[in-house]
Amino acid sequence: METILKTESLSKSFGALQAVLNVDLTVRKGTIHSIIGPNGAGKTTFFNLLTGFLQPSTGKIYFQGRDITTLQSYQISQLGIGRSFQITSIFPELTVHENIRIVLQSRTKSNYSVFNSMSRLSILQEKAQEILERIGLEDKPDLLAKNLSHGEKRILDIGIGLASEPELLLLDEPASGLVGDEIVRVTDLVRSISSYITIVLVEHNIDVVLSISNIITVLYYGEVIAEGKPEEIQNNEKVQEIYLGDYQ
């Protein structure tokens, strides 16, 4: 399978704290590649390195064969890497539809004003509605985002990531704080998206990870200690000892 993302000896230190240490990661196109580990393992720092929010201390990052190590976050986004955040990044005072449309607009040279042609604005509106249908919020376009349920805000955040038109989407704990049917809904959405976009997932809900991942990488104090298919990770003695415990 084609490699879409690769890191070589990627490291990040904050003074004496080594948050990420010599991480070699290969993400294959068309997969869901999950990154797990206990709190403090370096998962979010690793995501911030991949998306340009932090610059690595050492090492390299390649996207579709291109060295993106020193690029800024907006440049990485324009190349085709999207991201959702552990804390939702929605605009609470805008409608659900406007949250999506404003990101789509950022991908064009159009300003949303009366001086733009109606046809151009209509295309943006239609694309936004298509994304809302894809994520299951098509019946709430005019609702203020702040009035969505917690689970729906998570889904909208994923929709915002989709609106950046990525080839690779990084999801940072999309099931965080969710219960019951909300978890099922988000899990089904991630699985559906993976049919056309490669996904790198950070998630603490191990049931979600094991049910949808093709490959799992385990971080511990910034280092990769294991990698493999879900069943291999579940049965890995070292992973059991430091992270999964008695999970079966």
- For the domain 1-80+166-248, what is the CATH superfamily, name and number? P-loop containing nucleotide triphosphate hydrolases (3.40.50.300)
Q: What was the pLDDT predicted at 89?
A: 77
- Compute the Cα dihedral for 206, 192, 32, 221 and give only its sign: negative
pTM: 0.89
Q: Which string of DSSP letters, residue by residue, matches 117-151? A: -HHHHHHHHHHHHHHHHHHT-TT-TTSBGGGS-HH
pLDDT confidence tier of residue 1, bands split at 50, 70 and 90: confident
pLDDT over 90 at 116, yes or no: no
Over range 63-81, report the average pLDDT.
Answer: 95
What is the domain partition of the chain in residue ranges?
Answer: 1-80+166-248, 91-165
CA distance linking residue 195 with residue 207, whole number of Å: 20
Strands (E), 135-242: 168-172, 198-202, 215-220, 223-228
Q: What was the pLDDT predicted at 24?
A: 97
Q: Tokens representing 23?
A: 């991480």
